[in-house]
Structure 1
């Protein structure tokens, strides 16, 4: 047992591998469970809240704008919450109190969404949930960096994203079997699942954080002295110090891809009802086969990304994303749309595994990874804020039949961004 470990730690936890040559598999399991818990809520939110808003708004653009603005709360809250979590990581409880408190508070407005009988009430619940859930979302995603050395984080992300893919399945199953029978029960299941699973993760990992956290001598520091930052503003200034900064360019790529993926996910249920003639519950299940494909392929994609390089893998993913959208536009049937979502889900897997780790690799010190996760969230949340509105507006200007073609056109911009990044040679995973 490493000498830094307390002698009173549970025997099983004390045997958790922290050495740089091995991945802390037990920690990966429990962090995966925590991330799974919060993403289960977000997936159901993205699939069903747009339909709640459609009771009051007939414009897809307005619905997309409201859904996007919900995600924009992370732009203002996450840098500060992430920086606070960086300060707490070496203390006894680490980042876990932020995660647990956030999950408990966010549950209340989420459960109340289907009970709202007026537009102001619905917006209060939706905005309240989004503001709270966005505040701690990035902190949960940063947990893995506390227990796994940098050289193993890409593989760890593969396992985490494999677990997260199950949340799409859970969301789809709730849509298929519960929504059309009891909408209030359907909205109660995901947050209760979140509370239970984050509680389990804390019991088996967070409760022993002081013993399990990665020691400073395992953080693989660089040869130069690590800079110190007094505030999240200093970290952001350092990261975005010039227009040609690779961090800024990577954030632009994250913004573009996250925006189109979010738009596709949020508008797919409405697409299914408007174009394919499906019932609301059946339309909500269109993403289920794609989730299965994501689950099967995300680990091979994670391992392949180490050979290809993270940015190159993401560029190939965007290319596949465009191909899937064009196929779905050409074959506007239930099976054609399912095939489209399968291809798009595989493409998103390449992005999901690599984007955050690629940004972490650009951090000047391991002590600001929570803040760099906030930069990732700023980019992705900005994309999620504008992507649905942009795609929804394009639907208003054309029709629902052209939604997938419009999304493919916007994704082409994303492909150009990642192509430029890859050619600039900033892909550290390839060296």
Structure 2
């Protein structure tokens, strides 16, 4: 550890509370905002396009804010000014979302846009707090703690806040908003005004890497020597369309097609996330032992099979009267989360390996470019398929992206091995 400079795991947990609240809010927002928009907008495609707005704002604005927070110098440091503005504002307008929905669609959209902008203002600075307070040799451990807290936030959103949604639609927004504000208070009084390890951390943010990689990255991928790399990155773009679209539209499918309660729909989606959290480490160990690409290919075979089975589950009720359909769907989604762990845990390490030691940053940028770009278009695209071909098209469309991704990943790995 760097001599003479302090380090505290207590501060890392304090910083992790910010990521916990951020992930909790985003997870609940992604699951339930499409249902709230459904009060005014019937088209799933339009609802999905609105859901993609946060990712678009992230790619455009967060690199600018991240760089700005690297350079600004104030009495309370360089990160806290953005956090002081963004977190309380995001907490307030998140609480206002269900009340805005009671007025008109325009009030709801106004509240939503302010909320999204506020989240964008503080996301980069709050993430940058970790490396500001952590020496380089401890950042992997610190990042693991923070991501674990984020995973816990996602599970609480889908299992805990979803239950509150069934009692009163406003309750989970109030609780999540208050948790976000409490996290802000905790951060404000815990983090250093002049952290000991401050660097230009904006370049480490995923949105910054995506933005900076856009034109340079695409020009590089046109070269024959990068053909295999382009196939692998295209595979990641494709299967993230399926994942992000399903995440945003699942509650719409469950409520409008299966006639589930909205709270039960979010609770059920939580089993997918739960399986991913449980099996992330085992999947990583399998990838290290058997190879990243083979384990990803297994997941890319299993997950489409699981997805296409979901629309047929209601048919089993006729064959087996009294079968608990919700429990069965939860079990199927849990197995899907295991397959998703096989895929997603290996993806970034695989892409980082493509460039060798000298190009890790460049390929990291490409990874975030392809994965985040899909999140912009996915909710609207799969929502359009639901509009055109009915609700089960959500799972058939998602499965299709994974099948095509299987071909692209396999083709890319063969091309790279042949070089």
Q: Do 1:78 and 1:135's aligned partners in 2 also have CA atoms closer than 8 Å?
A: yes
2:268 — aligned with what? Answer: 286
Cα distance 1:28–1:73, how it changes in 2: closer, same or farther (>3 A)?
Answer: same
Q: Do 1:327 and 1:336's aligned partners in 2 also have CA atoms closer than 8 Å?
A: no
**Partner Cα distance (2:43, 2:348) in 1:** 33
Cα distance 1:98–1:272, how it changes in 2: closer, same or farther (>3 A)?
Answer: same
221, 224, 228: which one pairs with 1:243?
221
Is 2:52 aligned against 1:68? yes
19, 42, 46: which one pairs with 2:30?
46
What are the superposed Cα offsets for residues 362-393 of structure 1, whole Å, 9 maximum, x if unpaired?
79999x97x98776555444322211111111
2:181 — aligned with what? Answer: 195
1:346 — aligned with what? Answer: 338
1:222 — aligned with what? Answer: none
Q: Which moved more, 1:322-331 or 1:134-143?
A: 134-143
Cα distance 1:412–1:127, how it changes in 2: closer, same or farther (>3 A)?
Answer: farther
What are the superposed Cα offsets for residues 253-275 of structure 1, whole Å, 9 maximum, x if unpaired?
44333332222122211211233
**Partner Cα distance (1:390, 1:45) in 2:** 19
Cα distance 1:83–1:360, how it changes in 2: closer, same or farther (>3 A)?
Answer: farther
Q: Which moved more, 1:268-277 or 1:137-146?
A: 137-146
Aligned residue for 2:170, secondary structure, equals helix
2:204 — aligned with what? Answer: none
Cα distance 1:142–1:185, how it changes in 2: closer, same or farther (>3 A)?
Answer: same
1:207, CA displacement in angstroms?
A: 1.7
Cα distance 1:81–1:317, how it changes in 2: closer, same or farther (>3 A)?
Answer: farther
374, 394, 400: which one pairs with 1:409?
400
Q: Do 1:50 and 1:266's aligned partners in 2 also have CA atoms closer than 8 Å?
A: yes
What are the superposed Cα offsets for residues 202-239 of structure 1, whole Å, 9 maximum, x if unpaired?
655x32763356899xxxxxxxxxxxxxx997665544
Is 2:265 aligned against 1:274? no
Which structure's residues are more often helix, by fraction? 2
Q: Do 1:320 and 1:343's aligned partners in 2 also have CA atoms closer than 8 Å?
A: no
Cα distance 1:265–1:37, how it changes in 2: closer, same or farther (>3 A)?
Answer: same
Q: Counterparts in 2 of 1:22-41, with a 5 A limit?
A: 29-41=13-25
CA-atom RMSD, angstroms? 4.1
Q: Which runs of 5+ in 1 are unaligned?
A: 17-24, 217-230, 427-431
The two structures have a TM-score, normalised by structure 2, of 0.76
Is 2:383 aligned against 1:389? no
Q: Counterparts in 2 of 1:10-409, with a 5 A limit?
A: 13=7, 29-85=13-69, 93=77, 95=79, 97-99=81-83, 101-116=85-100, 117-137=103-123, 140-141=126-127, 147=134, 149=136, 153=140, 159-201=145-187, 203-204=189-190, 206-207=191-192, 210-211=195-196, 236-244=214-222, 245=226, 252-307=234-289, 313-332=295-314, 333-350=325-342, 352-355=344-347, 378-409=369-400
1:177, CA displacement in angstroms?
A: 2.8
Cα distance 1:374–1:233, how it changes in 2: closer, same or farther (>3 A)?
Answer: closer
1:45, CA displacement in angstroms?
A: 0.4
Number of residue pairs aligned between Structure 1 and Structure 2: 392
1:311, CA displacement in angstroms?
A: 5.6
**Partner Cα distance (1:209, 1:250) in 2:** 41
What are the superposed Cα offsets for residues 27-70 of structure 1, whole Å, 9 maximum, x if unpaired?
76455433222111011101111111111112222222221234
**Partner Cα distance (2:152, 2:111) in 1:** 26
Q: Do 1:162 and 1:294's aligned partners in 2 also have CA atoms closer than 8 Å?
A: no
Q: Do 2:229 and 2:412's aligned partners in 1 also have CA atoms closer than 8 Å?
A: no
